[in-house]
Amino acid sequence: MIDNNMKSLQEKSILNLEKMKDGLIEYSTGGEFDETEYVKIRYFILNNDNTKKIAPDFLRTRRTLKEFWQFIKNQYSSYAERREFLTTTFNIMIDTLEQTSEFVESESFDLSNWIGGGGLVRFLRLSTSMWK
């Protein structure tokens, strides 16, 4: 059974995967996707124990949209192929999370809680629920 904190983390994880899927489909088919939004969602996915283990390699290795563009345009030449690849990839991840009954609570942070950073370090205000 998932308690409210875990359900909220599960919902947040799925929402971020949906946002990334929609944004990358839009971007790879001639539309727009905000670079800052890409970086924030990518950070969440790759630093959340529940999503980082199922994240695709292209997301791990493509830090910017320009790097992603080089990957997707060379791998899939048509818009239809790109949409199919991204939809399938992210839907598998979302399905996996929807079927997961246990979420790692220690990763219950919110990107809106960024309190600073410098160099290669970013600081987040952690939820107090993880200490209860």
121 or 70: which leads in pLDDT: 70
pTM of the model: 0.73
- pLDDT above 50 (res 102): yes
3-state secondary structure of 109: strand
Average pLDDT, the chain: 81
103 or 19: which leads in pLDDT: 19
E strands, the chain, are 109-118, 121-126
pLDDT at residue 76, as a whole number: 97
Residue 93 identity (one-letter amino acid): M
Tell me what the mean pLDDT of segment 101-111 comes to: 51
Tell me what the mean pLDDT of segment 83-108 comes to: 81
Indicate the pLDDT class of residue 8, thresholds 50, 70 and 90.
confident
pLDDT at residue 6, as a whole number: 56
